[in-house]
Amino acid sequence: MRRRKSDFGDQALGPIARAGGDAPKPSVSFEFSPPKTLEAEETLWEAIRRLEPLNPSFVSVTYGAGGSTRDRTHRTVIRMLKETTLRPAAHLTCVEASRGEVDEVIQDYWDAGIRHIVALRGDPPGQIGGTYTPRPDGYCNATELTAGIRAIGPFEVSVGLYPHVHPESPSIEHDIDVLKAKIDAGATRAITQFFFDLDGFLRFMDRVRKAGVTIPICPGIMPVTNFKGLKKMAGPIGIRLPAWLENLFDGLDKDPDTRRLLACSVATETCARLAEEGFSDFHFYTLNRADLTYAICRVLGVREPEPRKEAAA
């Protein structure tokens, strides 16, 4: 694979100019979170309707720490299935539930027509990045959960993947072994956590592919509009933020318009360079907002279909 320096500030935007040209259009997917309030629900559905015409390969709905959003996740996924053309995937975790309880949720999804689940271990209640202790009567990890899902039905199962060493892992080799175990249990796709160290991600992917992993792997893309919020999010889960990214947003706390422009540029540049390296599937963490994701997809050439013209009489 070719290697390009990932310091955004030192790079020309050549790949962006080529992204919307004659190159094959990438496949995109979007992550949403279940709303907590009526106002948040309106915002979510505005985002869903805005992004729906882009025909994503799937959209996922998150599951809160400790299973705290189980009912809201279920309602959102079912509404997507009934009221949109989208192909929804429900996040599901192992925490704070017995195997029987989790199996009941899986069966309910199958009966409702959901055919895609994102299987994750999950975080303890209120402790994102905290120490995880499995319940004696529950699934211990995402590998066991994946096997449990596939035992109930032939779901498509996506699993999580860190683009560097997981905070609780002793090594990259261990992470790759865990990924292979998930695949053996029935995982059909991996979605990475968001990242900004492009060179590090590419080196990691070289090792993953050399280990014999062949399932699709979707890079997770996080458009950044609030760097302080990003640091708060990234810290507990061990995501490293490069100095060049912090420098870009330095001094822009009261300038949201410039922050949005930079966010779009950084994310689009990342996708364009990944496309040059052979990646064709991108998973966007939307934070329930559509504007940046829509703009990035448009630059990449992902657009809603042209309306059909009526045939001449």
Phi, psi angle pair for 5, to nearest 5°: -60, 135
Helix spans in 235-309 (H): 243-249, 256-276, 291-299
Return all residues near 225 (Cβ < 8 A) that are at least 6 apart.
256, 259, 260, 263, 292
Per the CB < 8 A criterion, the answer to whether 95 and 132 are in contact is: yes
Residue 32 bridge partners (DSSP): 61
CA distances for 106 relative to 24, 162, 247, 262, angstroms: 36, 25, 44, 40
For 73, half-sphere exposure in the C-beta direction (CA atoms, 13 angstrom radius) is: 26
Q: Give the dihedral of Cα atoms 91, 96, 99, 100; nearest 10 deg.
A: -100
Q: With the C-alpha atoms ordered 97, 98, 101, 106, is the resulting torsion angle positive or negative?
A: positive
Per the CB < 8 A criterion, the answer to whether 26 and 277 are in contact is: no
Catalytic choice (31, 144, 156, 269): 31
* Residue given tokens 């809160």 in the structure block: 64
Is 156 a residue of the active site?
A: no
Per the CB < 8 A criterion, the answer to whether 290 and 46 are in contact is: yes
Nearest to 93 by CA among 160, 156, 44, 40: 160
The beta strand positions in 172-280, using DSSP E, are 189-194, 217-221
The single-letter DSSP state of residue 67 is G
Rounded to an integer, what is the distance from CA 291 to the centroid of its chain? Answer: 17
What amino acid positions are annotated as catalytic residues? 31
